[in-house]
Structure 1
Amino acid sequence: MGVEEYSGGVDASSGMLVVTMNDVPGYKVDRVIGEVFGLTVRSRHVGSQIGAGLKSLVGGELKGLSKTLVESRNQAMDRLIEQARTRGANAIIAMRYDVTEAETGAEVCAYGTAVVISPA
């Protein structure tokens, strides 16, 4: 598996600046829109669970589960961006991920503060 299968983040063509910082150097916050989030819940595939169980006997990365988590994070990020765009934002600051283990899978939430910024 190549690095592209384990990468994420915002595509520059999305038109939305997403940062984990509380501010953006060189920009001023003109308006705070508020909290936005994107959420996805993924169930585990029985085959990957069996494979993960066997892999745990010998150790090493659980590549199938890693790939699923990356896909989940990317989907949550896409939903976050769409919510912010719908509410009129051009940036999201203080973005974070939260992952919660559920009995049947995992909940991945991307959240942050939607804002309108302009060059300072």
Structure 2
Amino acid sequence: MLIVTANDIPGHRIDEVLGEVFGLTVRSRNVGSNIGAGFKSLVGGELKGITKMLHDSRQEALERLTAETEARGGNAVLAFRFETTEYAGTGTEVCAYGTAVRISPA
């Protein structure tokens, strides 16, 4: 699966545009992570628990985007992006999105 942020792929032609695809996950932060983040904010530094949660969330969203693209018969995603939003003050929503296409070498 080729996933790019560009609108085209050099050396390939777009045979079919299959439409927009999404991969979405919403994760809550655990109590320990929130307490640790509160203390860390007093002295500064990386919030490792939250960094790991966001990394894992992005990976899960990307896997879901890939699965949706494959289910539609696509083999690539163009104009790929991530969007992250705080959800109800207790968690984080991560959305991976782009345009599913079927490509072949030019």
Deviation at 1:31, TM superposition (A): 0.3
SS in 2 for 1:20: coil
SS in 2 for 1:55: helix
Describe the superposition over 1:73-95 as per-residue Cα deviations: whole angstroms up to 9, x where unpaired: 00000000000000000000100
CA RMSD of aligned residues (A): 0.5
Deviation at 1:63, TM superposition (A): 0.7
Report the Cα distance in structure 2 between the residues aligned to 1:109 and 1:90, rounded to whole angstroms. 20
The corresponding residue for 1:19 is 4
1:113 partner amino acid: T
The corresponding residue for 1:52 is 37
1:66 partner amino acid: T
* Displaced runs of 4 or more, over 4 A: none
Match of 1:41 among 2, 7, 26: 26
The corresponding residue for 2:91 is 105
The alignment's TM-score, normalised by the length of structure 2, stands at 0.98
Report the Cα distance in structure 1 between the residues aligned to 2:5 and 2:86, rounded to whole angstroms. 23
Report the Cα distance in structure 2 between the residues aligned to 1:84 and 1:117, rounded to whole angstroms. 12
Matched, 1:116 2:106: no
Report the Cα distance in structure 2 between the residues aligned to 1:52 and 1:21, rounded to whole angstroms. 36
The corresponding residue for 1:8 is none
If each structure's strand is expressed as a fraction of its own residues, which one has the higher value? 2
Deviation at 1:104, TM superposition (A): 1.6
Matched, 1:95 2:64: no
Report the Cα distance in structure 2 between the residues aligned to 1:96 and 1:89, rounded to whole angstroms. 17
Identity of aligned residues (%): 65
